[in-house]
Chain A
Amino acid sequence: MKQRTDEPEALLPLPTAAFHILLALTGGERHGYGIMQEAVRSSDGKVKLGPGTLYRSIRRLLDDGLIEESNERPVPELDDERRHYYRLTPFGLRVARAEAERLAELVRAAQRKQLLPQTGLIGLEGGVE
């Protein structure tokens, strides 16, 4: 059994699939297929999670305490009761932020090396760089 850690940095870098799942859950609780759709939408169709990748990542995120299962249903009468919903934990949110900061730092480094244009990146500490 893997030991849990309280330090977000200990879990970085996150695998792409795991980060996309966390991103999808920042907007609220979602079920598996909802997460999959959101990942496609937020990546402009570039990230397509297969069921295997999705649930392997979900299991790891559950084990690490980044997400948890939720018993609540957004619209109970319209939803299949057998669906499993997931939501971000406060620790999961901290890890997602830390990963976003790490990626932003990478982008800034790429901009400094002129691999990327200087404009367009919104700094996490606020403002457009």
Chain B
Amino acid sequence: MHLSNDILLAAIEQQLPGVVLSHEESYGMLTLETTREQIIPILEFVKNDANLQVNFLTSLCGIHYPDQPGRELGVVYHLQSMRNNFRFRIKIFFSIDDPIVPTATTVWLAANWMERETYDFYGVLFTGHPNLKRILNVDDLDVFPMRKEYKLEDGTRTDKDDRFFGRDGHEGQLLE
């Protein structure tokens, strides 16, 4: 079967109406946005569907947009159907004050460490995860270091600030 962005989108819409909040194509790759309540049903559907055969979780990672109130944190799933040679990604966003997402380890075992890494760096709590603890950082670290509020540079330095990287020094906004 030849799988295309349109076919995949139609298949998901038909099976699970209304779960796709928005979709776009970025450099040819279909990007869907859904909610954390719907992510596991979508993953299960695309994995088990006899035509789609999305058999592989390529990658799972967190992302932090501090200037999106109520949907600051996100998790991005890259999925792949090896038989159809097709890739796409799914995103979910949620509030940083309520970073709870159901685990994908029930669908793919590979999600185990990827979710631990996402927890470690972004503080996303995956409910149902068998062993959710830090993986790369030390156990007693009390921050989630990939969140944008943790600056890489020493805050007292004045010779390197965000303006040198095309962004406003205070809010991290792009310079126009």
- Please say whether chains A and B are actual partners in one complex: no
